[in-house]
């Protein structure tokens, strides 16, 4: 299954796609939550399921936390959103 973006939350821009306003923090939190829950074997990051939130943004996302995390890593999502946010934090 391939990973697809849900057009309800993404918009096309010059050179690629951008997440619509108001969703940056929600997506970032869900990505960090999934990473935390995968690395620490099921400890919950929040009461809200990170995986359910990510299923809203990405079609074709695997059903398990570990599978989804690996799929998002392979697709470069973590590199784009998490690493870029670290760079912006110091601007």
More confident residue, 5 or 43: 5
> Counting Cβ atoms within 10 Å, is residue 50 exposed (0-12), middle (13-18) or buried (19+)?
buried
| pLDDT score of 90 | 42
For residues 50 and 75, what is the distance between their CA atoms, to the nearest angstrom?
A: 18
Residue 59, H or E segment:
strand 58-59
Per-residue pLDDT, 13: 87
| DSSP-derived pairing of the beta strands 4-5 and 10-13 | unpaired
Provide mean pLDDT across the span 78-84: 76
Per-residue pLDDT at 67? 95
Query: What is the rounded average pLDDT of the residues 9-29?
Result: 87
Q: Residue 12: CB partners within 8 Å, gap ≥ 6?
A: 18
Calpha distance 65→51 (Å, rounded):
7
């Amino acid at each position: 299954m391939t990973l697809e973006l849900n057009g309800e939350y993404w918009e096309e821009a010059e050179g690629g796609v951008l997440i619509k306003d108001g969703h940056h923090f929600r997506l970032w939190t869900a990505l960090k939550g999934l990473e935390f829950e995968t690395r620490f074997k099921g400890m919950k990051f929040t009461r809200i399921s990170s995986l359910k939130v990510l299923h809203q943004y990405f079609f074709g996302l695997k059903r398990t936390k570990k599978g989804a995390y690996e799929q998002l890593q392979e697709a470069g999502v973590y590199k784009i959103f998490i690493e870029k946010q670290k760079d912006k934090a110091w601007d």
